[in-house]
Structure 1
Amino acid sequence: MSEAERRRVVVGVSGSLGSLAALHRGAAEAHRRGAGLVAVGAWEPPRGALTHPSSMLAPPVAEFRELAAERLRAALDTAFGGAGPGVPLRVMAVWDRPGRALVRVADRAGDLLVIGAGRRGRVHRALLPSVARYCLAHASCPVLAVPRSPLHRELAAVRRRVSLRLPLNAGELTDGRS
């Protein structure tokens, strides 16, 4: 086993802007440490009758796994294009909740777990558990939580304005001539 294979930087990838930022930071950390990069996409089958243990029909697990792998590959293509991260890359689609999957994969002493730590509103915190908080509380290796980019705030503001159909700036109130 080579040195790069022993030292790993494990990154949680969901395809969100925060996870793409974490993926870039993880690649930079892997390059700096001479480590391999492990991109982990967690997935669960949809909840419902087909996935219930008492169901007579087996869920199409292979199809769900392939869809998760495709989503993970698409996120990697979005992040790096055709160039790749520039370090040894391993891609894993893991059947589990995101936090548990990341903590399970990043289980070696030399691992570094990199996650996106976007700010979330009260509604999100009440309804959805935080993957970052789970990883920070349960990981046995160092965890690097990558904060949201300042562009996230600007993008969110533009989305709110567009959804409310408000002008983007004062110049749009007129025809552009002052």
Structure 2
Amino acid sequence: MAGNESARRVVVGVDGSPSSHAALRWAIGYAQLIGGRVDAVGAWEVPMMYGWSAPPVDTALDEDVSRRKFQQELDQVLGDGQPVEVRRELILGNPADVLIEASRGAEILVVGSRGHGTFARALLGSVSQHCAAHASCPVVIVRPD
């Protein structure tokens, strides 16, 4: 199925949380059922300190670290040999906005119920709620295993 641009797309948000790992596994199973592919999408943001908008460190370094963590996480969850094609994409931006944009034209968007956001305790589930309210395709919210 590699390289099949006409395959039905299942977009899944990946952020390192247990519920995003469960969402990735769910997305793979669903894509297998519908003969589709999985677009595993992560988002990274420039760190903000004390409301100051200037980046405190080199953004290229932040991006490199984010990409390595993203790849390692996917390798850990996916293991060897997948029943469907899994495309990996890490995008700079707000996680909810990145996922909504990535899901345009998708069959479905899959997100975890609780992620690893900057303010995880205060905004628990805010990305999944925002996606459910604003995505242009059906959204499945998966709890951790």
TM-score in terms of structure 1 length: 0.68
Give the partner amino acid of 2:62: F
Identity among equivalent pairs (%): 35
Q: CA 1:60–1:79 in structure 2 vs 1: closer, same or farther (change >3 Å)?
A: same
Indicate conservation of the 8 Å contact 1:41/1:69, yes or no: no
Shift of 1:80: 1.7
Measured on the aligned residues, the alpha-carbon RMSD in Å equals 2.6
Shift of 1:69: 1.5
Indicate conservation of the 8 Å contact 2:21/2:144, yes or no: no
Shift of 1:134: 0.5
Q: 1 CA distance for matches of 2:63 and 2:77?
A: 21
Gaps of 5+ in 1: 150-178
Deviations 1:66-87 (A, max 9, x none): 2221111111122122x14321
Q: Secondary structure at the match of 1:87?
A: coil
Q: Which residue of 2 aligns with 1:3?
A: 6
Higher relative contact order (CA 8 A, sep 6+): 2
Shift of 1:60: 2.9
Indicate conservation of the 8 Å contact 1:65/1:93, yes or no: no
Quick check: 1:46 aligned with 2:47? yes
The 5 Å alignment of 1:85-104 reads 85-104=82-101
Q: From the two aligned structures, give the one with the greater helix fraction.
A: 1
Q: Which residue of 2 aligns with 1:18?
A: 19
Gaps of 5+ in 2: none
Deviations 1:111-169 (A, max 9, x none): 310011149xxx956x22611101000100111111233xxxxxxxxxxxxxxxxxxxx
Q: CA 1:2–1:105 in structure 2 vs 1: closer, same or farther (change >3 Å)?
A: closer
Indicate conservation of the 8 Å contact 1:12/1:40, yes or no: yes
Structure 1 residue runs of 4+, over 4 Å off?
none
Q: Which residue of 2 aligns with 1:175?
A: none
Of 107, 111, 115 in structure 2, the residue corresponding to residue 111 of structure 1 is 107
Q: CA 1:67–1:2 in structure 2 vs 1: closer, same or farther (change >3 Å)?
A: same
Q: Which residue of 1 aligns with 2:32?
A: 31
Q: 2 CA distance for matches of 1:63 and 1:39?
A: 22
